[in-house]
Amino acid sequence: MLTKIVSTFVTTVPIISAFGFSDGKTILNELKKYGFESDRISDYGCYCQFLSKDASVKADGQPMDEFDLVCFQYTQCLRCLDIDQCTHGIYKGYNERNEFCNGSEYSCENNLCKCQKKLIQDMMNLSWSGVQVNRSYSITNNFNRSENCLVADKPELGNQCCGEYPSRYPFSSQFDRSCCGGRTYNPLYYECCEGNTVKLSGMC
């Protein structure tokens, strides 16, 4: 199931964002407030790079587990902030003063908040559901990204985004893809109809 969920995205869109793993330490501290042992996923799997200082190199490929999938989805959300022309470094994101992610006058700040809040909620939901962190995927336990994760060394392929924050994700319109609501489709054979439903061309 995990492979099926992400295979469409990770085989076509390298995740490189100017936001890097935005406010990684802040997010780890927020998770700790809820009793989550956030140190265990601070540098974990292919996508959980909370303490990474290099925003130019990001892993590509299949997430290692459910926690890594949450981080993968977060990197997609951040990539869309780039595509939507939000500037890194001037927005505060999730905090107690903007708990509902609608308190800022800047939409980019509210959207960054939504990306971060979803990450925190998804991590906590996994923990509360009894899903265990796999220690073998931790960098501190010698998990090797160069051997287990593909490294994005190809050009950016995602030039547009689909869906609403915090579930917004990048896709490439260069490969016969368009967006309808929260899903992509091939406009050569389908069209987006009323109510954001996708139907064969001429069937709306």
Q: Give phi and psi for 66, each to the nearest 5.
A: -65, -35
Residue with the bigger pLDDT between 5 and 121: it is: 121
**Residues ≥6 apart with Cβ < 8 Å to 100:** none
**E strands along 43-135, which residues?**
43-44, 48-49, 59-60
Q: 60: burial class by Cβ within 10 Å (0-12, 13-18, 19+)?
A: buried
pLDDT tens digit sequence for 141-158: 999 888 888 765 554 557
How far is 13 from 202, CA to CA, in rounded Å?
A: 30
pLDDT at 42 over 80: yes
> Which domains are assigned to the chain?
2-157 (1.20.90.10), 172-204 (no CATH)
What is residue 194's predicted lDDT score, i.e. its pLDDT?
Answer: 94
pLDDT tens digit sequence for 51-88: 875 544 566 778 999 999 999 999 899 889 989 998 77
Find where tokens 């076509």 sit.
Answer: 12
**E strands along the chain, which residues?**
43-44, 48-49, 59-60, 150-151, 160-162, 169-171, 178-180, 183-185, 190-193, 197-200
pLDDT at 199 over 60: yes
